[in-house]
Chain A
Amino acid sequence: MIIDCHTHLASPMVLPPVFFDGWTDNIRRLLPPKLPRAHVDRIAQSFRLALEDPDGDQLIADMDAAGVDVAVLHIIDFELGFPGRVTPLDEVFAAHRRVLARHPGRVVVFAGVDPRRGKSGVELFERSIAEWGFKGLKLYPPCGFSPSDPALDPFYDLCAQHRVPVLTHTGPTTPRLSFRHTHPSELDDAARRFPTVDFVLGHGSVVHRDDAALLAEFRPNIYLDTAGFQVVDRQGEWSSSVAFFKRRGLLRKLLFGTDWPIHSQVATTAAARQRLAGPDTGGLTPMELQWILETNAREVLKIDAPSSAPANTTP
């Protein structure tokens, strides 16, 4: 079994145009001066969401091509970050419930709820876990809150009660949002106060790597995922990162994630998995590879091991 612990539905309902507007603002500033306007526009266009897959069919096709069995779909609650510019959260939840029903056993959904919603947000989260079969909490601090904000305590109580994990975004994102609460250290208070809840630092093996690694090394309930490693790999730095995690003894804290569809123009899921499993990826043994692709995520997500057939970890 291979689990991609970090994906999103490829739909403007989930990843809204205003999110990509910020990326393209930044790209325009990074390009050389005096490029023709049409050239700049075409480059900016290439960084927008190219795919529309609201039913998750293309996600499943890409998973099949890559040998990935289960993907975790993350809902991001953008409503308070981009007021009036995004699809209402209840519609986003409904879309994910449809995808969950359409692809049974292939997707897991993490509910994204901004803690500033208060009691109604807590109720929505509880209902998503208890009634709709969602399996975790997704936090997006760039919308303007810390993952250690006490307003999240009722959510974490529910996570403890239902034995479901939390995945929180770390690192920079669209410049239209704040980077203030995106450092891994923002999570430490919550992880200490809720020791029975497992927390995953989204992109933790890629951004603020050393600080994320330190937390994962010393805080038992903090894990890291690989989402976005495709970019680091294209820069030629992924092999040395894997070697770093191996030397630090952190391969049991690392979860395979692609951030699909965000980085699918840098590497398909199949290429990403192939790259992770490649012979020059920091010298991983088959057992270590299985930890990253399957075992660690299975433990965090509380997914039982398949009863038949050995895990598929062949590159």
Chain B
Amino acid sequence: MTDETKQQQVDKVMALLSTYAGRSLGDSPETRGLAFNEIGMSSLTMASAVVELEERLDRQFDFRAFAGVKNVGDLLRAIGLS
């Protein structure tokens, strides 16, 4: 995976999360520190976002990898993009 591809994938994650947040989320330290409850995401919408990420990134995740994920940075780490 090149750095450019990785950043493109991060941008896809941010674009998806923006749809849940109802506002544009750029990739920044502030955004990565945002907790999911701060952008209005429940456990269910979180699961929905993960499934949508599987489609957008053409990957399949083990949901157990998301245990303890609380903010955007955690999510990026869980899917190997940080």
A-to-B contact residues, CB < 8 Å: 27, 30-32, 35, 39, 42-43, 46-47, 50-51, 231, 233-237, 264-268, 271
Shortest Cβ distance from A1 into chain B, in angstroms?
Answer: 24
Q: Given A27-B44, A236-B35, A46 and B67 touching (CB < 8 A)?
A: no
| New contact pairs (7) apart from A43-B47, A234-B46, A266-B68, CB-CB < 8 Å | A39-B52, A42-B54, A46-B51, A50-B63, A50-B64, A267-B67, A271-B67
Interface string of B47-82 (1 = CB under 8 A from A): 110111011000000011011101000000000000
Residue B3 at the chain A interface, CB threshold 8 Å: no
Measured CB to CB, the nearest residue on chain B to A35 is: B48
Contact B68 A267 (CB under 8 A): yes
Secondary structure of the B contact surface, majority rule:
helix
Knowing A235-B37, A235-B42 are in contact, say whether A271-B68 is a contact too (CB < 8 A).
Answer: yes
Contact B42 A46 (CB under 8 A): no
CB atoms of A236 and B44 under 8 A apart: no
Chain B interfacial positions (CB closer than 8 Å to A): 35-38, 42-44, 46-48, 50-52, 54-55, 63-64, 66-68, 70
A236 lies within 8 A of B38 (CB): yes
A265 touches B44 (CB 8 A): no
Bound: A147/B38 CA distance, A? 38
Q: Which 8 A-B pairs have CB atoms at the shortest separation, nearest pair first? A: A236-B37, A271-B68, A46-B63, A42-B51, A268-B67, A267-B68, A46-B47, A43-B47
Chain B residues whose C-beta falls within 8 Å of the C-beta of A30 in the assembled complex: 44
What residue in chain B is nearest A47 (Cβ atoms)?
B47
Q: How many angstroms from the CA of A76 to the CA of B38 in the assembled complex?
A: 36
Q: Point out the residues of chain A lying under 8 angstroms from B47, CB to CB.
A: 43, 46-47
Q: Are A264 and B37 in contact (CB under 8 A)?
A: no
Given A27-B44, A39-B51, A39-B52, verify A268-B68 contact (CB < 8 Å).
yes
Chain A residues in 8 Å Cβ range of B63: 46, 50, 265
B62 shortest CB reach to chain A, Å: 8
In the complex, what residues of B have CB within 8 A of residue A233's CB? 70
Residue from the list B35, B48, B51, B67 in contact with A264, Cβ < 8 A:
B67
Residues in B whose Cβ lies below 8 Å from that of A265 = 63-64, 66-67
Inter-chain contacts of B70 with A (CB < 8 A): 233-234
* Alpha-carbon distance between A266 and B35 when the two chains are bound, in angstroms: 14
User: Can you name the residue of chain A whose Cβ is closest to the Cβ of B66?
Assistant: A265
* A234 touching B36 in the complex, CB below 8 Å, given contacts A50-B64, A271-B68: yes
Nearest CB on A from B45, distance (A): 9
> Nearest-CB distance from A117 to chain B (Å)?
35
Nearest-Cβ distance from residue B21 to partner chain A, whole angstroms: 15
Residues of A within 8 A of B51 (CB): 39, 42-43, 46
A–B pairs, 11, beta carbons within 8 Å: A31-B48, A42-B51, A43-B44, A46-B47, A46-B50, A46-B51, A46-B63, A233-B70, A234-B43, A265-B67, A266-B67
